[in-house]
Structures are given as structure tokens and as C-alpha cells.
Chains A and B, each alone.
Chain A
Amino acid sequence: MGVSILALIYIIAAVTFIMGLKMMSNPATARKGNMVAGVGMVTAILGTIFLYRNPDGSLLQNHIWIFGAIAVGTLIGIFAAKKVKMTAMPEMVSLFNGLGGASATLISVIEFNHLADLGFPADASSVGTMAIIFAGVILGNITFSGSLIAWGKLSGKVKDFAFKGQHIINMILFGAAIALSIFITADLQASATVILFYIVFLLALIYGIFFVLPIGGADMPVVISLLNSLSGLSAACGGFLYDNKVVFTGGILVGAAGTILTVLMCKAMNRSLVNVLIGSFGGGGKLAATGEQGQHKEISLNDAAVVMSYANKVLIVPGYGLAVAQAQHTCHELEKLLEIKGVQVKYAIHPVAGRMPGHMNVLLAEADVSYDKLLEMEEANDEFTTTDVVLILGANDVVNPAAKTDPGSPIYGMPILDVELAKNVVVNKRSMKPGYAGIENGLFYRPKTSMLFGDAKKVLQDLCGEIKNL
């Protein structure tokens, strides 16, 4: 009876995961979708603890250990998720993702140890099963170490690091892990099997580190999304090993969804996935054109306030600088002040502005900026010609004209916001330092452009003050 109930619970859980993802595709139902999947997950977890039966018919043991781990994990999870700032959201997702990968790896390790203790009986350790175990270890470990590096990089703890021939070493590392896995599987009874297994384990960990280290700047969202899909696949390996269809379904679902999301992101940047993975971005920086350097022009707060107040239409281009300064509320205030003066204000959102796709939407939503004011890239590019002032808040690479004009630039080919079509461009930045991708931006030296240096929040507050006094 219990087993039938569990089967039913698993089927319902799998449906909630699919429904959840589907409801996530509409802002109106997204939150409910998240909860639906969450409830499905909790039910399936409880069902597993109390109703799961081993092949010999016995129930699961060690409940104290299981509930201990769940209690501690829940507290840590809720605490971390509630504490994290909106700006640090991408790092947090990356970190959670890495932990999921580690969990999947551990399952494969335990299963391997289990088989090793039994002396690898032929019926239980077929080539297929071993392949799944190795896939679980390799994918899980790449997810774990890669996500930790991505987390470190996004939070500024780890710097870009690339050396000559790194791609070749990466390929050798990955190839070695696969080759060794095949070698081990070919003769499981060999005395070195267990040691070699842990070498595969280590190779995958090191590969994960070297795989993410050289990838910098604008490609980080793609990497996190890719690692997310890998963690799904490593989870699916765990589901396969225990013939657990809900784990398998959930894992594959995330693997497929993550892959599509990765591809969508690559498309948004007009880069191929191979290019992202092979070509280290911002690590070398030799190609970054510095030819266009010259004089940049500054604008005073007062002048900026005047230009914007007397404009018909102002488009705001938010970037990571806005997120770092936590200036979204002040930005919304500026928008309201300008609208009182009869200025039409909209936001131009580049799909990869910030550190993750949709990062800016989330941030502006937090400040109650209404939906219809957010323009996607294509819509915005149609409106720039009729725009009087473009206010760029801490965005850089997504407005860099080098993406269109300089074939040598690492971001060449990425669609950008054509801010230069507008009459005036006001750029708020903290300094003239290049952006996250480490590329010089010619836009800052153009005659139409004026610079407004300072922390986004401070500058916006001062701008609001100036506008009120006009």
C-alpha cells in the first residue's frame, strides 16, 4: 500500500515540477508556480522518508540522521536566502547550484563504495551503471567546483585567471577523466580501481575550476546557466541509480531547461556556446581596442538636471552599477519627478545587463517600477531616435559601440542598445575604468556623450534634489 501511495506521490511531484516551470513563464502565475513545485518537492521528500521500500522490502532507517541533516539544511537555506541582497542574487543561485552538484556527486561516490564493498558483482555493476556513476561524479564535481568559482568571481573574491594553452590543458583534463572512467570500467576487479576512481573525482574538480576561471565578464550568466543544467543532469544520474523516476524526471527537466536557457542567453549576446567556452572573455584583454581614447566631457549635476527636465523623452539604461549602488528606489523617484514635469520616462533593458538575464527587471520590480515602462532591447532601439536624453546608470558593455564596429573586440557581434541614436547621452559611472568585460568603451569619448561621475545612488539623489529645485 505504502509503495503505491509513494508512486502516486512521485507522479504528482513530477507533474508539479512541470506545472511549476510552465507557470513560471507568466509573471502573473510565476510565484504560485514556484510554490506548487515547492509543495510537490516537500511531499515527495516526506514520502521518500516514510514510504520508500528497499528492493528487499524493508523501510528506510536512520531517520534521526536524515531529519538532522534536513533541519540544519533548511535553517541554513532559509537564512541564506532571506539574508542575501538583491545584488548578490546571482552569486547565491550559483552557490546553491554548486551544493546541489556536490550532493549528486556524493550519491555516486556512496554507490561506488557500495559496489566496491561487494566486489563489483557483474549483475549490479554493468557498463551502463558504471557509466552513470562516473557521469554523476564528473558532472556533479564540475558543477560544484565551477559554481564555487563563479560565485567567487561574481562576489569579487576570485579574479580572472588565464594562461597560455589553458584550453588545451582543460581538454586534456576532461579527456583524461573520461578515458580513466572507461579504463576503470573495463577491468573493475583491478586492484587500483578505487584509487583511480578518486583520481577521476579530482580531475573533474580541477576541470571545473579551470573551466570557469578564464571566463569573465559578460559570459558569467551563460556559465551559471550551463552549470545549472549540468547539476540537473548529475541529479538525473542519481535518480537513475536508484531507479527513482521523480529524481530522474526532475533532473532531466532541469538539464533540458537549463540548456535552452543557456542557448537563449548566448543568442542574446550573439555568441555561440562553443565560443563562450573556448574563447576566454576578458581574461586576455589584448584585443581590447584602446585606439579611441581621447577627451571625455563631464557634465554638472545641474546641467544634467536641466537637460532631463526639459526633455520630451528620457530613456534610462540600467546596468550593474545601479545594482551595486542599490539605487533602484532612487531611480524610481527620479522617474516620478521627471514625469511630474511632463517628461516621458522609460527603461531600456538589455537582456544581459547586470550579472544575469532579467537581473535588471528583478531589481526595478523591487522598486515598484511598472512593467510597461520596461522596454526590451529591440523596442528600445526603435525608440532611441525619438529620445532626447539617454541616462546610462552603471551600464557599460551593453552600450559599447565596439560590438558593432570593431571586429577585433571580444564583444564584437553582440547586439547592443543603440544609445547613440538619441540626441544626448549622459553616462553615470564611478570612474573611467573599463567595464566587467575589461574593454575600453568608445562611447564615452563621443561628442554626444557627457559623463556624470559618482556612485549611482548618490548621483541620483543629487539629481532628484536639483530637479526639485528647478
Chain B
Amino acid sequence: MESIFHWISANEQMVYILILVIFLGFIVISRVPTVLHTPLMSHANAISGVVIMGAIIVMGRAAADNYIALILGFLAVLLGTINVVGGFVVTDRMLEMFKKKKAP
């Protein structure tokens, strides 16, 4: 139990971010109309690709002869990039159609 308290106080900033961002996420999303649910899901999916930065850090730290870390890191960056790029491009394709319609 004591170790949990210690852990929380050691990571105070992260715990604050956690709580505030959860509320933020709830509020921002609850205003989205049904029409935009599919693009929104795709957009959120693209953002979840932020994990790619963790992958880049892992890879950049790996020793040049630590092939396991390099290969796993390469895969992580590759998959993360597909997630980010594919996610944003697909969302844009969907939203492009909404825009066309706006012009009379």
C-alpha cells in the first residue's frame, strides 16, 4: 500500500494529466454529432499513433549491435507510422466528401 502512495507522489504530474485529460476527452467528444462519428473514430485512431514517438525513442537508444531491440523498434516505428499516416489520410478522405457538399 505504501509503495502505491509513493508511486503516485513520484508521478504526481502524470496523475494530474491523466485525470484532466480524461475529463477533457469526455467533454470534447460528447459534442460531436452522429454524422461525424466514423471520421472521428478514424481521427482518434490516428492520434493513438502518438505511440510512434515512444517507438522512436526506444530505437534511438538501442545500441547499434542490439539487433533484437533494433528489429523490434523498427517494427514498432513501421506499424506506428502506418497507423498515423493511414489514419490521417483516411480521415481526410472521408471529410473531403463533407466539404464538397458545403459548396452549393
Which A residues fall within an 8 A CB radius of B?
Answer: 17-18, 20-22, 24-25, 27-28, 30-31, 33-35, 37-38, 41, 44-45, 48-49, 52, 54, 59-63, 65-66, 68-70, 72-74, 76-78, 80-82, 84, 89-90, 92-93, 96-97, 99-100, 102-104, 106-107, 109-111, 113-114, 126-128, 224-225, 228, 231-232, 234-236, 238-261, 264-265, 268, 349, 351, 356-359, 361-362, 365-366, 368-371, 374, 376
Contact = CB atoms under 8 A, between A and B. Distances in A.
Given A31-B98, A77-B81, A228-B45, A103 B52 contact: yes
Contacts of B101: 365, 368-371
Contacts of B47: 17, 20-21, 37, 41, 232, 250, 253-254
Given A103-B83, A106-B76, A357-B34, A49 B44 contact: no
Contact of B38 (A77, A102, A357): A357
Interface of B: 3-4, 7, 10-11, 13-14, 17-18, 21-26, 28-62, 64, 68-70, 72-102
A370 B30 CA distance: 24
A245 B17 contact: yes
Given A25-B33, A365-B101, A34 B80 contact: no
Given A81-B85, A240-B14, 14 more contacts: A25-B31, A52-B56, A62-B60, A70-B77, A77-B89, A103-B52, A107-B76, A239-B50, A247-B53, A256-B21, A261-B44, A268-B34, A358-B35, A365-B98
A77 B34 contact: no
A224 B49 CA distance: 16
Given A25-B32, A34-B95, A374-B35, A74 B81 contact: yes
21 contacts: A24-B36, A25-B33, A34-B43, A38-B92, A41-B47, A48-B57, A52-B57, A66-B60, A73-B79, A73-B82, A104-B51, A110-B76, A114-B69, A231-B48, A238-B51, A248-B14, A252-B22, A253-B24, A253-B47, A357-B34, A362-B94
Contacts of B85: 73-74, 77-78, 81
A253 B92 CA distance: 20
A379 to B, nearest CB: 12
Given A24-B32, A104-B51, A258-B44, A73 B81 contact: yes
Contacts of B30: 260, 264
Contacts of B54: 104, 107, 235, 238-239, 241-242, 244, 247
Given A24-B43, A34-B43, A70 B81 contact: yes
Contacts of B91: 34
A48 B53 contact: yes
Contacts, number: 377
Contacts of A225: 41
Contacts of A238: 51, 54-55
Nearest to A79: B86
Q: Is the interface of A mostly helix, strand, loop or mixed?
A: helix
A256 B24 contact: yes
Contact of A30 (B4, B39, B44, B78): B39
B7 to A, nearest CB: 4
A41 B50 contact: yes
Interface centre among A37, A74, A103 (most CB of B within 10 A): A103
Contacts of A35: 88, 92
A30 B55 contact: no
A232 B78 contact: no
Nearest to B73: A110
Contact of B39 (A234, A268, A358): A358
Contacts of A244: 53-54, 57
